[in-house]
Amino acid sequence: MSLATYDEARPWAKAIREEVLERRMPPWGAVKGFGEFRNDASLSEREIEMVANWVEGGAPPGEDIYLPPVPGAAPSGEPGAPADAAALELGIRKKLERTVVAVGVRVEGGEGWQWAQVVAHRPDGEFIPLAWVQNRSRHQPRDYYFAEPMRLSKGTEVQAASEGGAKTWLLVAR
């Protein structure tokens, strides 16, 4: 379905409401409170409430003066993507052989995966939750960019776990 215009989206209002309430729309699998991401496409509670109220109120059209500009060509790359990052494949455990600046996590899996979780244990004992991603949509974003890059020192152990065979990578600045 197209959501480019009101006329195209309006017939789908109830379906949109359900998908938004179930947090399947917009597609974003990262669990709130387990890492912060600059490319977070999820809706806030207030935005979810606004969509639900719009549908319950009959899904009226808005004022033309509030319409955003017509989009041009899609920008290349994903919002928040670092210009240059390398991907370190994670198994169940990976001990870092050098200090790295982590900029995100990549999660990739086939149809059957349910969730993936990535955490770091620094040599000083500090535990850092990096990402917990649920497979809520087959259009799931692959990369989750941290709100702020984080320095992980040599000897940090990065652990990945998943249900259903998701593969994970730590994205690091070069």
- Write the DSSP assignment of 102-146 as a string of letters: EEEEEEE--TT--EEEEEEE-TTS-EEEEEEEE---TT--SEEEE
Q: What pLDDT does 16 receive?
A: 94
Q: What pLDDT does 157 receive?
A: 96
125: left (phi over 0), alpha (psi -120 to 50) or beta: left
- Residue 127: partners with Cβ closer than 8 Å, 6 or more residues away: 119, 120, 121
d(CA 152, CA 98): 9
- Residue 47: partners with Cβ closer than 8 Å, 6 or more residues away: none
Residue 76 has pLDDT above 80, yes or no: no
Residue 110 has pLDDT above 80, yes or no: no
Residue 43, token pair as written in the block: 């809706």
Q: How does residue 70 score in pLDDT terms, banded at 50, 70 and 90?
A: confident
Q: How does residue 47 score in pLDDT terms, banded at 50, 70 and 90?
A: very high
d(CA 115, CA 119): 14
Percent of the chain with pLDDT over 90: 48
Rounded to the nearest 10 degrees, the angle between the axes of helix 13-21 and helix 45-56 is 150
Q: How does residue 141 score in pLDDT terms, banded at 50, 70 and 90?
A: low
**Residue 55: in which H helix or E strand, if any?**
helix 45-56
Q: How does residue 142 score in pLDDT terms, banded at 50, 70 and 90?
A: confident
Q: What pLDDT does 54 receive?
A: 94
Q: What pLDDT does 74 receive?
A: 53
CA angle 54, 55, 56 (to 5 degrees): 95
Percent of the chain with pLDDT over 70: 88
Over range 46-53, report the average pLDDT: 95
